[in-house]
Amino acid sequence: MRPHENLDVWKRAVDFTVKIYKCTEDFPKDERFGLTSQIRRASVSISANIAEGAARKSSKEFLNFLSIAQGSTSEISTELLIAFRLGFITEAVYLAVSNELDEIGRMITGLCNHLKTRMHA
C-alpha cells in the first residue's frame, strides 16, 4: 500500500473528484474546455498533491504539496460559485458540494498542523 492510501483526507478527496465529475456532466457542452475542465482539473489536483506529498521524504516537502492541495480547494470554491451563478448547478448541489469541500479543507489543515507539530517535536 502506498503511504497516501492510508490517509482519510486522500480518500475523501478522491470521492469528491468523482462527485465533481458527475456534477459537471450536465454543464453546457461549450463549457467542456472552460469551466468544466477547470473544476475537474482542480478537483483531481487535491488528491494528486496529497498523494505526491505523502510520497516525499520530508514533512517539509509534504507540507508544500498540502499547501497546493489547499489552494485547489479555494480554486474549486470560486469555480463552483461561478457555476451556481451561471445556473449550471442548483443551490442544493452547490451547498452540498461546497460543504464537502470545506470539510476536505479542514482535514488538510489538520494534517498540516499534525506534520508541523511532529517536525517541532
- Count up the domains in the chain and report the number: 1
Q: What is the rounded (10 degree) CA torsion for 109, 42, 8, 96?
A: 90
Helices 91-119 and 59-85 pack at an angle, to 10 degrees, of: 170
Percentage of residues in the chain having pLDDT higher than 90? 91
pTM: 0.93
Q: Give me the CATH number covering residue 93.
A: 1.20.1440.60
Domain with 53 in it: 3-119
Residue 114 in contact with residue 108, Cβ under 8 Å? no
Mean pLDDT of 60-65: 96
Render pLDDT for 13-59 as a digit per residue (tens, 0 to 9).
999 999 999 999 999 999 998 999 999 999 999 999 999 999 998 99
